[in-house]
Amino acid sequence: MHNYYARTGFYKFVGNNLKKAILPIIGVVLVIFLFNKYVYNINDGLHHFTETFSRLGILITFFISETVLGLIPPEIFIAWSKKTDQPILNLALLATLSYSGGLISYFLGKTALKIKAIKEYLEVKMEKNLKNTRKWGGILILAGALLPLPFSIACLAAGMIKYPFKSVVLFGLFRFGRFAIYAWAIFSVVS
């Protein structure tokens, strides 16, 4: 396997993407810290957020976001879970909803292939990119699960390239690890 990965450029691909991801992760943590210290106390905002919106409304909003392109950063919801009466339960619900939303996105990607214009675009204009994506599809899912990239977009792409669903289910489980790691970092900032 090592020779195969070295020959196909997999290690270079992963290394370049890790280099690209580390600075945004550090940047997000730094921005949250500085914003909390100098601009607006995040604890006050989260307290207001928790008291204004119902738990069910927040969970539904999060699930829709995680299913449809993941436009709202999950870190906001992770911070919200810290301010609730049952932070661990709510965090587990968020992680489960995020994972489930990604799996639904996979099927949305498969369904999108039935649209002729999308299918032609992928087969003609994106042929070279699709070849590498199919080759390393598991890394795409893993990156979406662990890194601050929208998980639903990675799953949508996996559905479009007809990546095996069993592998999406397996690699997607790392999403739970991401929520645990981010919760540990965010819970230490939010009181």
Using one digit for the tens of pLDDT, what is the confidence trace for 35-79? Answer: 878 887 777 777 777 778 889 999 999 999 999 877 788 888 998
pLDDT digit string, tens, across residues 95-154: 999 999 999 999 998 998 888 887 777 776 666 666 666 776 777 788 778 877 788 888
What is the domain range of residue 129?
A: 2-69+77-189
Query: What span, in angstroms and rounded, lies between the C-alpha atoms of 75 and 94?
Result: 10
Environment class of 173 (CB within 10 Å of its CB; exposed 0-12, middle 13-18, buried 19+): middle
Q: Cα–Cα distances in Å, from 89 out to 95, 101, 106, 117, 140?
A: 10, 18, 26, 43, 28
169 SS3 class: helix
Per the document, the length of the chain is: 191
- Per-residue DSSP letter, 114: T
How many domains does the structure of the chain reveal?
1
pTM of the model: 0.74
- Is the pLDDT at 87 greater than 90? The verdict is yes
